Amino acid sequence: MAGEMSILGSAILALFLAGYLGQQYLPPPKPKVIGLDLGTTFCSVGVFRPGMGDVEVIGDEEGRKSIPSVVSFSLTQVHAGYDGLELADSNPHNTIYDAKRFIGKIFDKPEDLERESARYPFKMVYNNGGTEFVVSTNRTFTVSPEFISSQLLLKLRKMAERHLGMPVHKAVISVPAEFDERQRNYTIRAANLAGLDILRVINEPTAAAMAYGMHKADVSNVLVVDLGGGTLDVSLLNKQGAMFFTRAMAGNNKLGGQDFSQRLLQYIVEKVRQRFGIPPSREEDVHRLRQAVEAAKLNLTLNPRVLLEEPVTRELFEELNADLFQKILAPVRTVLAEGQLEKAEVDEVVLVGGSTRIPRIRKIIGQFFGKDPNTSVDPDLAVVTGVAIQAGIMGGAWPLQVSALEISNRHLRKTNFH
Ligand SMILES: *[C@@H]1O[C@H](CO)[C@@H](O)[C@H](O)[C@H]1NC(C)=O
Ligand SMILES: *[C@@H]1O[C@H](CO)[C@@H](O)[C@H](O)[C@H]1NC(C)=O
Ligand SMILES: *[C@@H]1O[C@H](CO)[C@@H](O)[C@H](O)[C@H]1NC(C)=O
Ligand SMILES: CC(=O)N[C@H]1CO[C@H](CO)[C@@H](O)[C@@H]1O
């Protein structure tokens, strides 16, 4: 009798061990929830890999990890991302971008929207305070900002499905900290139109801080500087336990990489004028010069000088933009004042957005705080990385027991500088 028991006992033990060992060698579970960064100019999708404990940002067919937030309408199709961008020159009236600036946004008067629409090659109409884009192929119709966003999210969803080899229906998405409830609702609606359930909406600065592991680090105050192509956003986050909340935000919606390029362009145009007596005036020449200037600006982040009609040094670029670079500190001072913090009380400074690659900007921020900002994550992918971590938490892949990571602060106002 005792012998039988022990045989049974070891059989159970063997089964248990086989199960345990089997689990060890099983392929890691696939991510169930994707993380989406729906940016104004670019968007990305990422997943948290439970087996690896890291984030993978998913590329498009060509492996590009960000796709332009551009949607173009041709006779028979809707083209999103790079396909949409390619049509921008040949089909400018039906190629919609910057939809994020209009999603869920209420304009008090039609004239307010008209002023905005003057900047774009496509048409917009005022509809009960909201915006509709006008598309004319062989017929004329209107589409909403959330429809445009849904086409981008659908593209991101397909990129993820292709990569993961399975259908995806759940996501976490980021929005600017300043988005109100209505803008958040319309962003969720865009995702629903793309066949995605949104498990959580998180603020972009919080996502960026998470990309740097701030949710696990021993920090209480994190300052996030997000400097993109056209806007600067500064947020002061406070962490209590594993929860973040936004303590203050400020920004400048007319400051970014495009302005820095413009200064360099003006300089080159002036040089050409001095040399040839007339500035370049043909549209193609100006267009070509603009592209060369943009490339030179990116190059100056890595090289001390480039050749662009004439040699341009990094010092010259910095000098041409010195006053603009200093403007970055105004909203930084504001969030500290509003958050009632001394700069020494800021534990970490996180940089997001392509323009924070500019060495001089890193230096100005570093000198202001007397410590180096955190720059190890690609500034263009920091937000999607953080959103994917949150998606991993929501999908139950996270080894830590963290349930909620953000407390919303509905009464906060953003201060804007120009
Ligand atoms: C527009 O063009 C598409 C594709 O050629 C065609 O299927 C559709 O019937 C046309 N619609 C109108 C209103 O002409
Ligand atoms: C946002 O959506 C929620 C849930 O559907 C709803 O209760 C709320 O009224 C909406 N708010 C706005 C401002 O649209
Ligand atoms: C950057 O500039 C350097 C020096 O002018 C040049 O050799 C290099 O090819 C450029 N690189 C890019 C990516 O433009
Ligand atoms: C350069 C720098 O400040 N690095 C910091 C980035 O953030 C982590 C916390 O996750 C710090 O430990 C690093 O020192």
Q: pLDDT digits over 332-361, tens only?
A: 999 999 999 999 999 999 999 999 999 999
Average pLDDT of span 263-272:
91
Binding site membership of 366 for ligand 4 (Cβ less than 6 Å) = no
Distance between CA atoms of residues 182 and 228, nearest Å: 24
Q: Is 372 in the pocket of ligand 4 (CB under 6 A)?
A: yes
The rounded Å distance from CA 291 to ligand 2 centre is 43
pLDDT at 401: 45
Q: Is pLDDT larger for residue 220 or for residue 410?
A: 220
Ligand 2 atom at minimal distance to the Cα of residue 180: 13
Is pLDDT above 50 for 293? yes
What was the pLDDT predicted at 400?
A: 47
The answer to whether the beta carbons of residues 289 and 281 sit under 8 Å apart is no
What percent of the chain has a predicted confidence (pLDDT) above 90? 71
- Alpha carbon distance 92, 97 (integer Å): 10
pLDDT of residue 230: 84
Q: Measuring from atom 14 of ligand 3, which residue has the nearest CA?
A: 299
| Nearest one of 103, 126, 96, 100 to 113, comparing CA atoms | 126
Mean pLDDT computed over every residue of the chain: 89
Q: How far is CA 307 from CA 292, 295, 408, in A?
A: 10, 11, 49
Length of the chain: 418
Taking the centre of ligand 3 as the mean of its atom positions, its distance from the CA of residue 76, in whole angstroms, is 41
CA distances from 36 to 179, 199, 324, 375 (A): 16, 11, 31, 21
CATH (residue range 33-252+376-417): 3.30.420.40
Residue nearest to atom 3 of ligand 2 (CA): 185
Return the pLDDT at 136.
Answer: 96
pLDDT score, position 31: 82
Instruction: Tell me how far apart the alpha carbons of residues 37 and 46 are, in angstroms, rounded to a whole number.
Output: 9
Sequence spans of domains, the chain: 33-252+376-417, 257-323
CA distance 6 to 4: 5
311: CB partners within 8 A, 6+ apart = 305
Bridge partners (DSSP) of residue 417 are 252
CA angle 22, 27, 29 (to 5 degrees): 110
* Residue 307 near ligand 3, beta carbon < 6 Å: yes
**Contacts (Cβ under 8 Å, ≥6 apart) of 319:** none
In the CATH scheme, what is the homologous superfamily, with its name and number, of domain 257-323? Answer: ATPase, substrate binding domain, subdomain 4 (3.90.640.10)
Cα–Cα distances in angstroms (integers) from residue 258 to residues 40, 195, 295, 317, 383, in the given order: 14, 35, 12, 13, 21
CA 378 to centroid of ligand 4, rounded, Å: 14
Nearest ligand to the C-alpha atom of residue 239: 4
Question: Where is average pLDDT lowest: 65-79, 104-118, 274-288?
Answer: 274-288
**For residue 111, what pLDDT is reported?**
95
Neighbours of 134 (CB within 10 A): 16
pLDDT of 282 over the 90 cut: no
CA 318 – CA 313 distance, rounded (Å): 9
**Closest ligand 3 atom to the C-alpha of 306?**
5
Q: Which of the listed residues 210, 212, 372 should we mutate to test ligand 4's pocket, taking the one with most ligand atoms within 8 A of CB? A: 212
Q: Is the pLDDT of residue 22 over 70?
A: no
Q: Per-residue pLDDT for 286 more than 90? A: no
Question: According to the model, what pLDDT value does residue 6 have?
Answer: 56
pLDDT given at position 1: 45
Tokens of 173: 């998405």
Q: Which ligand is nearest to the CA of 301?
A: 3
Rounded (10°) CA dihedral 251, 171, 43, 214: 50
Angle subtended at Cα 206 by Cα 185 and Cα 48, rounded to the nearest 5 degrees: 90
Ligand 4: does its nearest atom lie under 6 Å from the Cβ of 216?
no
79-83 long-range contacts, Cβ below 8 Å, gap at least 24?
80/151, 80/152, 80/154, 80/155, 81/152, 81/155
CB 96 within 8 A of CB 83: no
Whether residue 16 has pLDDT greater than 70: no
Site of tokens 């305070």: 129
**Catalytic residue flag (residue 37):** yes
Instruction: Spot the catalytic one: 32, 37, 155, 239.
Output: 37
pLDDT at 277: 87
